[in-house]
Amino acid sequence: MSLRSLNSVQRAAVEAVDGPVLIFAGAGSGKTRVLTHKLYYLVQEGLFEPEDILAVTFTNKAAEEMKNRVMKLLNRKRLSLSIGTFHSICARILREDITTIGFSQNFAIYDVQDQLALIKVLINELDISKNILTPNQVRNQISFLKNKMITSDMQARKARTIMEKNIVRIYSAYQKALKVNDALDFDDLLLYPLNIFKKKPTILKKYQKKWKYILVDEYQDTNRPQFHFLTQLAEKHQNICVVGDDDQSIYGWRGAEISNILDFEKFFSSCRVFTLEKNYRSTQQILDAATSVVMNNDRRSEKNLVAANGSGDSIGVMETVDEQEEASAIVSALEKEIKLKKRTFSEFAVLYRTNAQSRALEDSFRRMGIPYNIVGGIRFYDRKEVKIVLAYLRLVVNLKDTISLRRVVNFPARGIGAKTLDKCVEQSEKDNIELFDVLKKPKKMEIRGKQSEALSVFYELIKKYHSLREKLSASELAHSLVEEAGILKFFKESTDPEARERLDNVEELLTSIEEFCIRESDATLSRFLEDVSLLSDIDHWNDSDNRVTFMTVHSAKGLEFPVVFLAGMDDGLFPIYGSLDSKDELEEERRLFYVAMTRAEDRVFLLYSTNRRRMGSENVSGIPSRFISEIPEDYLERIHFSSAVTRKFVSGKREKDTRTEMIRTVTTFDDFVVGDMVEHSIFGVGKIMALSGGGENQRVGVVFKDGTRKKLIVKYANLKKITD
């Protein structure tokens, strides 16, 4: 395998090995290709052994894909390469060395729900009114401070207002509680390796010796702890290659610092710089339109992206009355693209600034029977029944984990209510022992009868599996525990209509543990729980499904689709209202818009509404996003849409005085019978097999020629009866 498939700049960047290297990779410029070929080159040429290399990505999905591609290039089935996200790599370091800062190797990793549960407990204990601070506000603020490497003591010196002082109080109590629970949050995963390196320089030297070459993806999104982590690891050998695009830096709100990439040459003065400007994804029209917006930012590196795919179509701009008509307009444009370009559903993505915008879109797509995947809903591992099983497993691993204990001590119901648990908490504080250890002596707390027995049984159950955790496989332990704890029995016997689905989810979790044990050589229960806690929404997204993808622009980072609809292009929604008074935040919104535009390969549609309901309020009059006005009119195609019973889809470039119309007439209600042949604009010809309801509520069940079965509302389906 050679590097002949790379262009001249890509190849030069791959072959630049000695010393620091900075690669500015414009959108769609083959960044992943360069990264994988560089890893291939380092190993194939014998420059470094695989175990000498550390490759850092921002998602587990990206890490897995990169590793598979490199193995394919090298024609190997296994590769001892350290590759993963910052959080997963730091977690591995901590599993090995965290005892030096007073935690056990079995520490728990708290996700957002766990953090909120703990903060809620602390707010109550500190007697702070919920009207002043919500758990979510506190969590966000603590996370922001940690990403800036600001401790509670440091922040205490800056706090002036009552709110700021209360946040400091909770922050301090929160860190102490995490220590008591032998737990870390996501931000701690990045901070604590730095603490270890400072306290034990020999450990830092160990990893400096271990990783002689460091490769970093999406460097523009690194925060302060990540910057210090990388610079310390690279200090000895100076062999570090970072790849990124400052125009795609979109995580300033969670601590990312664009200066890390823009000032890289200041920190590594001998570095070589490469700029990838040949775009292999989008058309020139899309690139020029996106660039015309982002070039209004002051802090950026200059790039001149050239499309390999030619000029392409103009950017479609559609004005709608409200969010419902916006959704209808998207469906109409999607139908036209399917008819004219023979596209599949998976070729479309609908992007939006906030998750709340998805509701009207989902309603419209469901009515029309159009399949979709939504990224950012409730993750599988966040579902209540799954969280319960995971909490049992986490408690088995870490008996100090009070948040997991609180979640499962009364599930299935054992008669252990809040008052009983409060008694246990009081006793643990009085005796200065772990909350879990209090449970074995309920009578000491004057707890009698069934509650006393329930606490004792629960204590013995967890203790039993804690002692078995090294003797049984993760799969064997999980299966046995959910059975003995009565979880399976509870859902099997429940009369709740959702019980069957919840049981299926529990069984699916058990299956995932089985698969983990088969797949991984180091398949411990701790390792499984660690992997689950580090999954992101995008790691669950399956691009092989033939469905339209719904997601926020942030979630779409790194993905690509032939056609992108960008909904909610109203000023105050995109850019978001809170950014309008801040130059830095407005620049980040521009970069976010640039990311949205450059997800598209062939076509982009921008939609805005003149009226939109926001946060449950009355309709708010809207104006087009300022970003639309920053695009030269030559790049835009104004598309007029009206959502009457008869729809007119009118389009045409401004410079031409020509218009085309597509008129679709909806069949009147109550006009169908079972056996009728009908035509749908997307699914084609089918036969009505069932009818229900009447008037505006009439529904039909249709089997289409390709075997597709759909239940459709006649009012919205625009079915045409075939009379011949």
- Catalytic: 448? no
- Token readout for 291 is 């660039």
- Catalytic: 217? yes
First to last CA, the chain: 59
Cβ-based neighbours of 52, under 8 Å, separated by 6 or more? 210, 211, 212, 213
Q: Which amino acid, one-letter code, is at 160? A: R
- Which residue is listed with tokens 């084609």? 684
> According to the 3-state scheme, what is the secondary structure of 646-713?
EEEEEECCCCCCCCEEEEEECCCCCCCCCCCEEEECCCEEEEEEEEECCHHHCEEEEEECCCCEEEEE
Contact between 238 and 231 (Cβ < 8 Å): no
Q: How many CA atoms lie within 13 A of 31 on its CB side?
A: 24
- Catalytic: 218? yes
Which of 67, 281, 414, 599 is an active site residue? 599
Q: Which amino acid, one-letter code, is at 98? A: I
- Catalytic: 31? yes
Which of 52, 114, 217, 288 is an active site residue? 217
String of DSSP letters for 494-506: ---TTHHHHHHHH
Which of 248, 451, 549, 552 is an active site residue? 248
Cβ-based neighbours of 492, under 8 Å, separated by 6 or more? 499, 503
C-alpha dihedral, 493 to 499 to 505 to 509, nearest 10°: -30
- Which residue is listed with tokens 């008591």? 180
Cβ-based neighbours of 237, under 8 Å, separated by 6 or more? 208, 212, 213
Q: What is the DSSP letter of 481?
A: H
- Catalytic: 32? yes
CA 512, CA 478: separation in Å to the nearest integer? 11
SS3 of 300, please?
coil
CA 220, CA 243: separation in Å to the nearest integer? 8
Q: How many CA atoms lie within 13 A of 653 on its CB side?
A: 8
C-alpha distances in Å from residue 647, one per residue of 214, 588, 590, 644, 688: 57, 38, 34, 5, 24
Q: How many CA atoms lie within 13 A of 347 on its CB side?
A: 14
Q: Which amino acid, one-letter code, is at 83? A: I
Which of 11, 32, 343, 382 is an active site residue? 32
Strands ordered across the beta sheet of 53-57: 82-85, 53-57, 213-216, 240-244, 21-25, 272-276
CA 107, CA 105: separation in Å to the nearest integer? 6
Q: Which amino acid, one-letter code, is at 161? A: T
Which of 31, 281, 394, 414 is an active site residue? 31
String of DSSP letters for 527-589: HHHHHHHT--GGGG--TTSSSEEEEETTTTTT--EEEEEE---BTBBTTBGGGTT-HHHHHHH
- Token readout for 212 is 């002689």
Nearest partner of 394 among 190, 121, 106, 199, judged by Cα: 106
Catalytic positions, written as ranges? 31-32, 217-218, 248, 599
